[in-house]
Amino acid sequence: MILDPLQRLGRSGISFFGRLGRGNVFLLQTLAGLPALLLRPGLIVRQIYSVGVLTLLIILVSGLFVGMVLGLQGYNTLADFGAEESLGVAVALALVRELGPVVTGLLFAGRAGSALTAEIGLMKATEQLSGMEMMAVDPMKRVIAPRFLAGFLSMPLLAAIFSAVGVYGGFFVGVGLLGVDEGAYWSQMQANVDLQDDIYNGVIKSIVFGFAVAWIAVFEGYDAVPTSEGVSRATTRTVVHSALVVLGLDFVLTALMFGD
Amino acid sequence: MVQVRNLVFARGERMIFDGIDLDIARGSVTAIMGPSGTGKTTLLKLIGGQLCPQSGSITVDGENVPGLGISALYKLRQRMGMMFQSGALLTDMSVFDNIAFPIREHTDLPETLVRDLVLMKLQAVGLRGASNLMPNELSGGMARRVAMARAIALDPMMVMYDEPFTGQDPISKGIVVKLIHELNAALGLTSIVVSHDVQETAAIADYVYLLSGGKVVDQGAPDSLWESASEWSQQFLNGEPDGPVPFHYPAPAFRDDLIGGGRRA
């Protein structure tokens, strides 16, 4: 009786490290499939459309609303100190350093990551991946690598678009509705947002999140139990694990970049 | 064409094949039959190198499949076709593109030639008119025929059919039986048909292996199997509900179970 919980703990520990090991081997196989893709850019473009372009709408709308909320909240706080002219820099820094990469990472996991997992999982469940293997076509190169690369490339672009739209959302509320000076909004932003410290670090974050979410999404699909329940569980795991990894990595990266 | 010697394969504790031997003659239609869960599909995956046996050898056209490296295995697979039970068609591509898929992946043929080849394969299975349909617009029988056309797209030396008749209406079954037989003869193929549909398989097979419990329990030409002295073969071929394969799953005596008042051991 006492041993039961210990056994369960041991079993889940072995299963966790087994999956972690499989995930790492899978990543190496995926990366090994990338050079061959250079000869077939059409495969990447098609996936960038379904992973990146189809995620644009949710990114644009969310970026706009997040920017508008930042404009409103920022104005209320800054106005208490008579510093409402700094609204532009506050909105831009919040977006470029944090909210752009993080919220895009979360939305990307929910929209594109789940779709990637479900698609690959269903291809496995309906024997399409086995069928490819028997046609002497390596699914790692033909299915997994293009999707992984598309996710990895799309994420920083989507994060940049999110931040840009957010800045305009803040502008619309701050300048358009609350009366902040337009020149001050842009000039403060231009003067205080640093290319190296702020923009580049934000881009690095979005690249890291893109890598992590794309990896989790394609691995969960490939490793899914080939049944409808298995694919459903894998899709849920993609969203949950991606969200946790994005938030955890964000703290680590923020500490490294801005921790001093 | 295919030689299997002393093949042992287990999944965890469960023994699937316990030292079986098989020979598939070049140019023949060979049927692998047995009840569900005997490992017939597993055998095809072992021959195709998708699974690796614990011991024994599988030789296809002189090459030992389990010993091949990945690139040699993929080269060998270009000379094998396989029709999956589900069809395994790529759902984001039309019928035409599904059949063109292996040709485009493995050759640099110009698109006009690819088109001609695909139309020839579709004509062979009677679906040239369905080339623009998507897989979700096909009936089960049509999907199998498309899968068949794709299996022969690269003009392989051998085609493996996994349960080609399961879930088909009588007309579709008849078409698939005719196609397997005619394609084998016309293209000089070697065919392996895994099935538990006795009548259809016996009609086209040159040789039949009956598998059960990880062993080859009987083998021979279809006619000779009907005369077999094996009780197991007779039960399977005649579809008898009870016999060497019992009707009841192993359980304690029914009387003891009833008197036990629902208490389970």
Kindly tell me the burial class for residue A41, based on how many C-beta atoms sit within 10 Å of its own C-beta (0-12, 13-18, 19 or more): exposed
Three-state DSSP class for residue B22:
strand
Find the closest chain B residue to A127 by CA distance: B88
In whole angstroms, what is the distance from residue B241 CA to residue A245 CA?
A: 55
Residues with Cβ within 8 Å of B51's Cβ and at least 6 positions away in sequence, in order, are B9, B42, B45
For residue A117, is pLDDT > 90? yes
Kindly tell me the burial class for residue A13, based on how many C-beta atoms sit within 10 Å of its own C-beta (0-12, 13-18, 19 or more): exposed
Q: At residue A211, what is the residue type?
A: F
Q: Residues of A numbered 159-218 whose beta carbons fall under 8 angstroms of chain B's beta carbons: which are they?
A: none
The pLDDT assigned to B1 comes to 81
In whole angstroms, what is the distance from residue A241 CA to residue A16 CA?
A: 13
Tens-place pLDDT, residues A20-69: 999 999 999 999 988 888 888 888 999 999 999 999 999 999 999 999 99
Confidence category of residue A3, pLDDT binned at 50, 70, 90: confident
For residue A15, is pLDDT > 80? yes
Token pair recorded at residue A30:
């995926």
- Crossing angle of helices B111-124/B140-151, nearest 10°? 130
Q: Summarize the confidence of residues A154-163 as an average pLDDT.
A: 95
Phi then psi for B128, rounded to 5 degrees?
Answer: -60, -35
Q: Summarize the confidence of residues A230-255 as an average pLDDT.
A: 94
The pLDDT assigned to B70 comes to 87
Distances (CA, A) of B155 to B63, B102, B148: 19, 11, 12
Tens-place pLDDT, residues B71-124: 889 999 988 989 888 888 999 999 999 999 999 999 989 999 999 999 998 988
Residue A135 with chain B: CB contacts under 8 Å: 77, 101-102, 105, 150, 154
The pLDDT assigned to B251 comes to 82
Q: Summarize the confidence of residues A151-169 as an average pLDDT.
A: 94
Strand partners, B2: B24, B60
For residue A258, is pLDDT > 90? no
Higher pLDDT, B126 or A106: A106
The beta strand positions in A94-163, using DSSP E, are none
Handedness of CA A45, B77, B158, B54 (dihedral sign): negative
Average per-residue pLDDT for chain A: 92
Q: Which of these, A69, A62, A59, lies nearest to A91 by C-alpha position?
A: A69
In whole angstroms, what is the distance from residue B157 CA to residue B80 CA?
A: 6
Higher pLDDT, A103 or A37: A103
- Find out whether B172 and B140 touch, Cβ atoms under 8 Å: yes
The strand order across the sheet containing B215-220 reads B80-83, B158-162, B190-195, B29-33, B207-212, B215-220
Q: Enumerate domains of chain B plus CATH numbers.
A: 2-91+157-228 (3.40.50.300)
CA torsion A133-A135-A136-A139 (nearest 10°) is -40
Q: Does A240 touch chain B (CB under 8 A)?
A: no
Beta strands at B158-162 and B80-83: parallel, antiparallel or unpaired: parallel
In whole angstroms, what is the distance from residue A7 CA to residue A151 CA?
A: 38
Of B91, B106, B150, the CB nearest to A136: B106
Whether B88 and A126 lie within 8 Å, measured CB to CB:
yes
Q: Please give chain B's pLDDT, 265 residues, in tens.
A: 888 888 888 888 888 888 888 888 888 899 998 877 788 888 889 998 888 889 888 998 888 888 888 888 999 998 898 988 888 899 999 999 999 999 999 998 999 999 999 999 898 888 888 889 999 998 888 888 899 899 988 888 999 998 888 877 888 888 888 888 888 888 888 999 998 888 888 888 888 888 887 888 888 888 887 777 777 777 777 777 777 777 777 788 888 888 876 555 4
Q: What global pTM score does this model have? A: 0.85
Q: Residues of B numbered 86-105 whose beta carbons fall under 8 angstroms of chain A's beta carbons: which are they?
A: 86, 88-91, 101-102, 105
Q: Which of these, B189, B195, B199, B229, lies nearest to B209 by C-alpha position?
A: B195
Whether A134 and B50 lie within 8 Å, measured CB to CB:
yes
Give the count of beta carbons closer than 10 Å to the beta carbon of residue B104. 16
- Crossing angle of helices B170-187/B140-151, nearest 10°? 10
